[in-house]
A and B are shown apart, each in its own frame.
Chain A
């Protein structure tokens, strides 16, 4: 059996709307630019035509378009055996699912309760063993780090991966720049691994040490996802249009840099435009309707550019496996899959805004994805609202959760929220968002500016407000599978 699911893609934006985003992002890059301190990166940008002034690299539109022309359009990532290979090509897209990280904690189940502890080497091994046995995990992003000194982490991690998984290995971040040659020597086949580089701090900042690692990875012709994760309302506008313009501009700056380092660079575009919980302490909202919508919307830009996409889904905001966790994750997968995001990361096993994983959650998620795949294959001409509703109901049903009418209503409210645009993607409105972003950056106190600018949107209900689904889940089958794989009960 080969990996990857084929499905009809649902686009959220028209081509014309994507063009508005593209033009606005280019304006932002040209007029405001990205802040940078890495000499290596600045030199290269300048040599190829960008302007560096007052700490910011200003990138003309022709450089952006040239990079989009050159960058790799198809990327193949290898598993140990060719049946586990992953082929990313927007002209003929397949959807793949994987894990994410880095979680700091692991939950273990004990007599009906979850106990939290700091994650380390043994947890990494356990999770790899579990995922090796889960059919819907197509690739593994390092879920937790081994507890060894930083100096040893890169190689130890590589070794543990190679010993415990035959699936594609996404090491996520390179910890020490000088370890890259040894990692390559250990894996031999460079396509066996890939990375994720969080080269950007929003709004519009290239981080020096990460950028330099990123440049080295690109130079070695290893695939790398460029990731940017602004939070609307604190590091980007709360406006969806504004946040999409900003995250797109940020990612384009890194696409340009990658293709200056090596034309035809194997980069995956990964935008994670989530929101900030302005109802409380501004913590990130990963799996709430407006974030699910935005993450799905940004996928359209990768099809507009015809470049490989790294998606993000199912990072629950909940701390433990429970009905709300399952509902959030399921919705997020349905929409992210339908958007055609190809290499869907973060997803399997993840809880608490990327802070915690649990062995049980990996198994739960695998079962949910099975159901989602069945639903998509049963109705190739699916109605998105309908399939989402069915998926959540079925997923909760699998764990004997009883849904009352209020819970059902909240699920359909969420779906409706995700499907309905709240703002217009017109050039004028987009232009006003570019102005907001550039003012916020120039003020030097961008998070205050973004937060203040979010008040009108808050009043209009741009952050979904609903209920949490409470209730018990029957985990007997999940625990049985865990025991079967790990051989003992923790």
Chain B
């Protein structure tokens, strides 16, 4: 039993979702990944909260440490964060203790008429890696879709991305729509992307401007 939990943790650190994944050094393809292992653990009646305590939390701590020390790079963080978020999809409904369930939800979207998503995807990765639940609505998302999602999901944070001078004004539309729907006080709004700035954030009434994904993590600590 120890063995399987150890294996799950190891594969989280290696960022291996399933047997196709190659791991940190590209050498582990063929071995079972976390999805198979977690299923096996559950079949052996290991409790979800034990998997959380013994695998997910220490695994991601180790990944975070390696990332900070520069051994791990962004794709490594992404691979591990993806594992954790997929495992949580299985475990969450089964978790009984309230505090085990992830608390903070973050909605991300690239605003209407804008198709740039590389930066937004990185933000999503780092947020997941830091334990947030991320709902990524994709690119060219209308204000109505975002407001609807806030209503449905009771998220605490909304992150908007725009890379074009012609689409940055669509961020303001989102904030206005949130106000109209009476939801503005329920969420903190984060914005980012090359043409936006701290001044712009103030002008449109966003809570935080983030220079990059790391900045977002910093600002979340204060939010």
Contact = CB atoms under 8 A, between A and B. Distances in A.
Contact of A281 (B23, B166, B195, B212): B212
Contacts, number: 64
Contacts of A456: 22, 25-26
Given A233-B75, A355-B194, A451-B74, A459 B26 contact: yes
A458 B75 contact: yes
A280 B115 contact: no
Contact of B74 (A104, A150, A231, A280): A280
B111 to A, nearest CB: 16
A456 B165 CA distance: 37
Interface of A: 104, 150, 201, 207, 231, 233-235, 276, 278-283, 355, 447-448, 451-452, 454-456, 458-459
B122 A282 contact: yes
B82 interface: yes
B165 to A, nearest CB: 7
A283 B119 CA distance: 8
Interface residues of B, number: 28
Contacts of A282: 74, 118-119, 121-122
Interface in B4-45: 15, 21-26
Contacts of B76: 455
B115 A448 contact: no
B118 A235 contact: yes
Contact of B115 (A207, A455, A458): A207
A456 B194 CA distance: 30
Interface in B49-89: 73-76, 78-79, 82
Interface in B179-215: 194-195, 212-214
A448 B78 contact: yes
A452 B214 contact: no
B149 interface: no
B73 A281 contact: no
B117 interface: yes
Interface string B92-136: 000000000000000000000001011101100100000000000
Contacts of B73: 278-279, 458
A391 to B, nearest CB: 31
Interface centre among A276, A283, A447 (most CB of B within 10 A): A447
Contacts of B82: 448, 452
A451 B78 contact: yes
Given A283-B119, A452-B75, A455-B75, 10 more contacts: A201-B115, A279-B74, A280-B74, A282-B119, A452-B15, A455-B22, A455-B26, A455-B76, A455-B79, A456-B26
B118 A150 contact: no
Nearest to B213: A281
Give me the 10 closest cross-chain CB pairs, A-B, nearest first.
A456-B26, A451-B75, A282-B122, A447-B121, A281-B212, A452-B79, A234-B118, A455-B75, A278-B74, A451-B78
A448 B78 CA distance: 8
A279 B74 CA distance: 7
A452 B80 CA distance: 10
Contacts of A451: 74-75, 78
8 contacts: A234-B118, A276-B118, A281-B119, A281-B214, A355-B194, A455-B26, A455-B75, A456-B25
Contacts of B25: 456, 459
Contacts of A454: 75
B152 to A, nearest CB: 21
A426 to B, nearest CB: 19
A458 B24 CA distance: 10
Contacts of B22: 455-456
A448 B122 CA distance: 9
A456 B27 CA distance: 8
Interface string B162-173: 000110000000
B165 A104 contact: yes
Contacts of A458: 73, 75
A233 B24 CA distance: 15
Contacts of B122: 281-282
A104 B194 contact: yes
Nearest to A284: B118
Nearest to B211: A281
A150 B164 CA distance: 13
Nearest to B212: A281
A124 to B, nearest CB: 15
B192 to A, nearest CB: 11
Contacts of A150: 166
Contacts of A278: 73-75
Interface centre among B24, B73, B78, B79 (most CB of A within 10 A): B73
B75 A281 contact: no
A452 B26 CA distance: 10
A363 B82 CA distance: 48
A205 to B, nearest CB: 8
B129 to A, nearest CB: 13
